[in-house]
Amino acid sequence: MSGVTANWLLNPLTIAWRDPEDYILSNTVNTYLQVQPLKPDLSQGTTGVELGNRADRSSQSTGPVTYSAYWLEWNVGSERFHAIPAAQAPYSNTPDGRNHVVMMLGRGDAGQWDLLYDYNTVATTALQAGGSTRFTRAGMAVRYPDAVTTAKPYQMRMQLMTLNQVWRRPYLGETGTGEPKTCEMPPRYEDWQYDAVNVPPRCFSVDVATVNGATETDPVQSDVFTVGKPAVGQTVLAPPVSTPEVTGRSARHNGVDQEALSACLAKGTENCMSVVPGLAECVTKRLVCRVLPPRSAGQAIRPSVMSSEQAIRAAQRALQPVGSGKTRVQTVDSSKIAPLDGASSARRVHVVTSTDRVRSLSASVEQTYDGYTAVYDEATSQLVYACLGACRD
């Protein structure tokens, strides 16, 4: 497969505060699409890329839950994390039930992947070693399951692009699910706290819906993977309801019918590349395919700026460092950080560095690296960039 796409409604999460003195790790939820590519000779690779949405509960007892889009990639010796600004991924910081599409398109033997959010290119990878898929995953990763509930479960729809550039759903026989702490099921040995009963909020609700192929001989296809975190007394699975976006626009942008694209995204059940006039050609050319009017107000910003000491503690919660290396922090203008240079607006950032060994930031990769650099926005306390392991920035 040379491409993969997935979509879900960005519904609000309830994330209870956990005292960082007792709960030393970051209180986060990642909803993501992940690809681990093959090498050009089709041998097993050791690289990967992840793209999705991140919700982060403030370590302050009265602080907010902030939302953002992100992507990260890794190889044997290094991992890079990038927050995607809301200017590049509109409404990715607003959990209003809006449908969002993430897409990864391989560049063949060039080895790298173009990453798209709502059909606009937001980045191109640099650490990958192949442009076709070995393994693809979509899901929700929750750091503290008993702290998180969803008013509506997330419905994820995935499609794969064949080497012939044809999009299709995954065949049911190609897929598998892994859902520790399944609601109303006995605990398994692999579950954390496997001696605890799997009832809300310490459990996940899951469901897989299928559709038949176009002919009787076609394999059954996986259509929707639904995952939720019900609260006490909440129905285990309740279908989410998408509110269509009212745009009032019928103009085309780079050949794409914007009204048709808005309607397709609001519906959320089809691959818009197949039904929206001009969209497939626009994506092939990597143009700006989705435009939205400016927002009148953004996500609320934390009332106080982040201190350098708070940045150190945030990096330690996110990365779980092990070792006795010295941790350093500098506060600089974002233009001084190569991956952030050229951003739409300069801001002050805290740069935290250490030689300690740290764990991957990926939702599902068990990998460690020696040393790290983590960059936090002083005004919002958001992790905007990180490099783990070998860094030359």
* Distance between first and last Cα of the chain: 32
**Other Cβ atoms within 10 Å of 126 Cβ, number:** 12
> What's the confidence (pLDDT) of residue 115?
97
Mean pLDDT of 74-81: 94
Mean pLDDT of 360-389: 93
CA distances from residue 57 to 9, 18, 26, 66, 353 in whole angstroms, order as listed: 19, 9, 8, 7, 23
Q: Taking 60 as the threshold, does the pLDDT of residue 295 lie above it?
A: no
Six-digit token pair at 38? 């093959």
Q: Locate all alpha helices (DSSP H) within 236-340, ordered by sequence.
A: 258-267, 272-275, 279-284, 308-319
What pLDDT band is residue 44 in, cutting at 50, 70 and 90?
Answer: confident
Q: Give long-range contacts, CB 8 A cutoff, 24+ apart: 182-190.
A: 182/206, 183/230, 183/236, 184/236
> What's the confidence (pLDDT) of residue 106?
92
Domain ranges of the chain: 3-243, 246-294, 308-389
Give the tens place of pLDDT for each residue, 214-273.
888 889 999 999 998 998 755 444 444 444 454 445 589 999 999 999 999 999 888 899
Q: What are the residues facing 256 on neighbouring strands? A: 253
- What pTM did the predictor assign? 0.90
Rounded CA gap, 316 and 322, in Å? 9
pLDDT: is 238 or 167 the higher one? Answer: 167
Q: Taking 80 as the threshold, does the pLDDT of residue 393 lie above it?
A: no
Q: Locate all alpha helices (DSSP H) within 128-275, ordered by sequence.
A: 258-267, 272-275
> What's the confidence (pLDDT) of residue 238?
42
Give the tens place of pLDDT for each residue, 316-366.
999 999 998 899 999 999 988 888 865 656 789 999 999 999 999 998 888
> What's the confidence (pLDDT) of residue 342?
59
pLDDT: is 370 or 197 the higher one? Answer: 370
pLDDT: is 298 or 226 the higher one? Answer: 226
Average pLDDT, the chain: 87
Give the tens place of pLDDT for each residue, 117-155.
999 999 999 999 888 888 899 999 998 988 999 988 999
